[in-house]
């Protein structure tokens, strides 16, 4: 080693131990209905969803002839789901 150079951390020759902790992806925490609505949120075929709730976006897409799935509107009319778009928290 050259004078004045300090080595920090483990040697490059040492292998790192892999963690055996299994982390569940956050999407596993959502209900089936919420997963379906999140797919709707991610589908740009129906236009952007920033600034609109899911009902407003569905209605706009329907009005524009984009044929949003009827299943989405049926889900949105229940009390089981949120009408806010998944991206709403990033405003």
**CA atoms 33, 38, 60, 79: torsion sign:** positive
Write down the mean pLDDT value for the chain. Answer: 83
Proportion of the chain above pLDDT 90, given as a percent: 48
Instruction: Specify the pLDDT at position 51.
Output: 86
pLDDT at 62: 98
Among the listed residues 88, 4, 75, the one whose alpha carbon sits nearest the alpha carbon of residue 41: 88
15 phi-psi bin (left φ>0, alpha ψ -120 to 50, beta other): beta
Assign 50 a pLDDT band (cuts: 50, 70, 90): confident
> pLDDT, tens digit, for every residue of 9-18?
665 655 566 6
- Which has the closest alpha carbon to 45: 72, 16, 13? 72
- Listed by start position, the domains of the chain span 30-90
Higher local confidence (pLDDT), 85 or 88: 85
């Amino acid at each position: 080693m050259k004078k004045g150079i300090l080595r920090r951390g483990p040697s490059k020759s040492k292998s790192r131990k892999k963690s055996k902790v299994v982390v569940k992806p956050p999407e596993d925490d959502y209900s089936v209905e919420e997963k379906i609505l999140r797919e709707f949120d991610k589908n740009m075929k129906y236009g952007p969803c920033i600034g609109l709730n899911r009902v407003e976006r569905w209605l706009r897409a329907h009005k524009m002839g984009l044929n949003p799935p009827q299943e989405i509107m049926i889900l949105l009319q229940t009390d089981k789901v949120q009408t806010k778009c998944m991206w709403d928290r990033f405003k």
